[in-house]
Amino acid sequence: MEADLRAWFARYGRDLPWRRTRDPYAILVSEVMLQQTQVERVVPRYLRWLARWPTAQALADASTADVIREWQGLGYNRRAVNLKRAAEVVASRGWPDDLTELPGVGPYTAAALANFAFGRAVLPVDTNVRRVQERTGAEFGPAAAQALMDLGATICLARIPHCGACPLAARCPSRGARFEPLRRQSRFEGSFRQRRAHTLRLVAERPHSTSELDAEVVEALAKDGLVSVGGSVVTLGSG
């Protein structure tokens, strides 16, 4: 199956900017951005980010406030703070052998970095890769990682896969099956996530008095290192 998959990828694989580099820092930026954000939204923001901070040292030297402002619109802003913290570790001590030692880097992101940047023989398993593995029952090697991701993202979809266009369909035991919808994320409107986003936007524009803001949200944002509270003034960043 893997040979068929890789042949398909050679013809139909997505041309994404982070696939044109082996720079660990650039790949880390892409992986962190992609954790909760669609590829189409990430591409222009990734390019802009690297134009502004092309190296781990450049990001380490940036202010937390500027980093958070640049991240606005990508969501889950704590990722921006962790990315800066990871850059600070790399700038001061280099890349650790155990990549999960970097702030915000879990097992999947560590595996993706190990494969795509450092050429290690490890298969990063995200939602798309796991779906293809489970439906086909096949084993795939690390060299098939990008192909598996693209197949899961464009062909082997969560609910209604496009089996007619799949290079693995002939030997796939799940061919033609339909699947239950995944549990939907809770509504954003009126949620605590919306309150966080609104408050962070206000503070990103200018410092605010604590009396002007949602106290519960300010406390949560401060805990995540997104804002700091000095006296009765809330400012962007961890100070």
Tens-place pLDDT, residues 120-148: 999 999 999 999 999 999 999 999 999 99
User: What are the φ and ψ backbone dihedral angles of 233, each rounded to 5 degrees?
Assistant: -115, 130
Residue-level pLDDT at 36: 86
Token look-up 């570790």 returns: 89
Query: Domain span at residue 201?
Result: 192-236
Domain boundary among 98, 116, 134: 116
Asked if residue 94 belongs to a domain, the reply is yes
Asked if residue 149 belongs to a domain, the reply is no
Q: Could you report the per-residue pLDDT of 54-90, keeping only the tens digit for each?
A: 999 999 999 999 999 999 999 899 999 999 999 999 9
pLDDT at 189: 78
Residue from 2, 31, 139, 219 carrying the catalytic annotation? 31
Domain count, the chain: 2
Q: Residue 95 domain-assigned?
A: yes
Residue 134 is a catalytic residue: no
Residue 140 counted as domain residue: no
Q: Which residue stretches of the chain have pLDDT < 70?
A: 181-186, 239
Length of the chain (residues): 239
In-domain check, residue 69: yes
**Final residue belonging to a domain, choices 92, 116, 140:** 116
What CATH number is attached to the domain comprising 92? 1.10.340.30
pLDDT number for residue 137? 97
Contact call for residues 43 and 16 (beta carbons, < 8 A): yes
Question: Is residue 127 assigned to a domain?
Answer: no
Domain-located, residue 79 = yes
| 87 in a structural domain | yes
Residue 163 CA to residue 48 CA, distance in Å, equals: 36
